[in-house]
């Protein structure tokens, strides 16, 4: 796989949320607004980049039997560093995200990338994978947070969209709204993927047809 | 004794090295971020104190006193006007009986024992329901100027004078109870608090004289 394929795979085709449905806990927990989703995604992206880089660097050095505890230690170290940095320089957001920052340690998506990709690929490929997967995760969180904020409070990134008279739809802010919004987003993503696939198929057929025609003409 | 083979030794060394490097990195980060974290916490507290204390000329965090009272330690932040008189006092109380977890409230009182203002500093209440204790300014304002005698310190559902919210009674009930507790604490400890403030001031002046 080349670099852009690795990126596209992590960002879209194997998106943590939309394709694998992993990392549901932070997804549903913090996405009450687009901004919360963005910073949670950014924190996860940082941790994933760090852990993928280090795991790729030490591949072949760490004995197979202790690789999981080693990876978890590496991931936990990065999570704690990101948490402390946020506490110091983004204090308010740190208080909002609260427990979900330390919980990045157990985001199975991160250990999953370390085990399934970074431990088997070069450092530059692992970096590209981390950026693709991390941005894909951030995209998903911002999308879901944006939808919930828009319909729940009539705002997007804190800016009023629907005007002051918009009646807040409480359900979108509460956890059930997260599930419902996620369901509709997943349906939309599947529609997009299907239309891409069918368009590619019809193009392939058209190509095949245009090749066939001169052949048949010659045959006659 | 069990003999360790080569592979086992390699495992131990690998885990040890990973853990040691992680420890060094974390210690370094702690050293770098310790001061900014303390500064950020202080700034957040200063902002909250600004909202619950009357106008003051001092730095309430510099003049704080701690008062131990039946296993609870209250840190009290005094607001003083330019003449050095106490204009108000603020301290944090914890309502342990919120809807989800405990609620921390900064209560500011005037020297006569009435509420100057209250602000919720930390909570995990349901967004859109219980978080009215942060967002509902009219409700927060209903505490202003009230003292123990001027109100029945319960929500209306319980026969008191304070509104509950649509769909949320437990949260405002917990806050009202905690603020009432704060006023009772002030009533009982008023003499002790003012004695401590006076002696702290004396020490401060004595310290100033040595300089």
**Span A138-173, pLDDT tens digits:** 999 999 999 998 988 888 888 888 877 787 787 888
Q: Which of B43, B122, B126 sits opposite A174 (nearest CB)?
A: B126
Which 8-state DSSP code applies to residue B162?
A: B
Tens digit of each residue's pLDDT (9 = 90 or more) over B48-74: 899 899 888 888 888 888 887 666 778
Q: What H or E segment, with its residue span, contains residue A45?
A: helix A34-57
Residues in chain A: 220
The dihedral over CA atoms of A74, A79, A84, A88, expressed in degrees to the nearest 10, equals 130
Q: Do the beta carbons of residue A7 and residue A131 sit within 8 Å?
A: yes
Whether residue A68 lies within 8 A of chain B, CB to CB, comes out as no
Domain that holds residue A118: 3-200
Query: Is A208 inside any structural domain?
Result: no
Whether residue B122 lies within 8 A of chain A, CB to CB, comes out as yes
* Averaged pLDDT of chain A: 88
Whether residue B74 lies within 8 A of chain A, CB to CB, comes out as no
Query: Is A220 inside any structural domain?
Result: no
What's the total number of domains in chain A?
Answer: 1
- At CA A12, angle to CA A23 and CA A98, rounded to 5? 30
Q: b vs e for B52-87, b when ≥16 Cβ sit within 10 Å of the residue's Cβ?
A: bbbebebebeebbbeeeeeeeebebbbbbeeeeebb
Query: Is A149 inside any structural domain?
Result: yes
**ipTM above 0.85 for this complex:** no
Query: Is A209 inside any structural domain?
Result: no
Q: Three-state SS for A158?
A: coil
Query: Is A7 inside any structural domain?
Result: yes
Tens digit of each residue's pLDDT (9 = 90 or more) over B77-102: 998 888 888 889 999 999 999 888 89
Query: Is A56 inside any structural domain?
Result: yes
| pTM of the full structure | 0.79
Per-residue pLDDT averaged across A105-119, rounded? 90
A contact test, residue of B13, B18, B43, B103 with most A CBs within 10 A:
B18
- Check residue A3 and give its pLDDT: 87
């Amino acid at each position: 796989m080349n670099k852009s394929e690795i990126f596209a795979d992590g960002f879209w085709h194997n998106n943590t949320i939309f394709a694998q449905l992993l990392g549901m806990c932070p997804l549903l927990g913090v996405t009450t607004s687009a901004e919360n989703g963005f910073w949670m995604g950014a924190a996860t992206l940082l941790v994933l980049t760090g852990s993928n880089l280090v795991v790729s660097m030490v591949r072949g050095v760490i004995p197979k039997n202790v690789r999981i505890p080693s990876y978890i230690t590496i991931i936990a170290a990065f999570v704690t560093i990101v948490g402390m940095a946020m506490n110091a320089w983004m204090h308010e957001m740190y208080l909002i995200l609260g427990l979900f920052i330390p919980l990045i340690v157990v985001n199975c998506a991160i250990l999953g990338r370390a085990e399934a990709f970074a431990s088997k690929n070069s450092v530059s490929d692992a970096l590209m994978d981390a950026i693709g997967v991390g941005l894909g995760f951030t995209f998903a969180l911002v999308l879901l947070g944006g939808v919930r904020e828009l319909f729940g409070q009539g705002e997007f990134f804190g800016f009023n969209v629907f005007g002051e008279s918009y009646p807040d739809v409480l359900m979108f802010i509460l956890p059930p709204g997260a599930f419902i919004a996620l369901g509709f987003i997943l349906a939309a993503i599947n529609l997009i993927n299907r239309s891409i696939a069918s368009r590619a198929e019809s193009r392939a057929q058209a190509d095949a047809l245009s090749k066939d025609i001169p052949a048949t003409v010659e045959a006659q | 004794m069990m003999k360790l083979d080569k592979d086992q030794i390699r495992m131990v060394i690998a885990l040890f090295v990973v853990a040691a490097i992680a420890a060094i990195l974390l210690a370094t980060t702690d050293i770098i971020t310790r001061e900014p974290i303390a500064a950020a916490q202080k700034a957040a507290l200063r902002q909250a104190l600004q909202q619950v204390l009357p106008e003051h000329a001092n730095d309430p965090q510099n003049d704080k006193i701690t008062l131990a009272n039946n296993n609870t330690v209250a840190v009290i932040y005094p607001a003083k006007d330019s003449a050095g008189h106490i204009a108000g006092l603020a301290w944090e109380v914890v309502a342990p009986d919120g809807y989800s977890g405990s609620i921390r409230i900064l209560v500011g009182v005037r020297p006569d024992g009435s509420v100057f203002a209250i602000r919720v500093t930390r909570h995990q209440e349901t967004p859109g329901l219980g978080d009215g204790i942060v967002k509902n300014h009219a409700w927060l304002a209903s505490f202003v100027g009230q003292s123990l005698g001027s109100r029945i310190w319960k929500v209306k559902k319980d026969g008191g004078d304070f509104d509950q919210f649509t769909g949320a009674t437990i949260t405002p009930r917990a806050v009202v109870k905690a603020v009432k507790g704060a006023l009772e604490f002030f009533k009982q400890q008023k003499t002790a608090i003012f004695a401590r403030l006076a002696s702290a001031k004396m020490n401060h002046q004595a310290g100033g004289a040595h300089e």
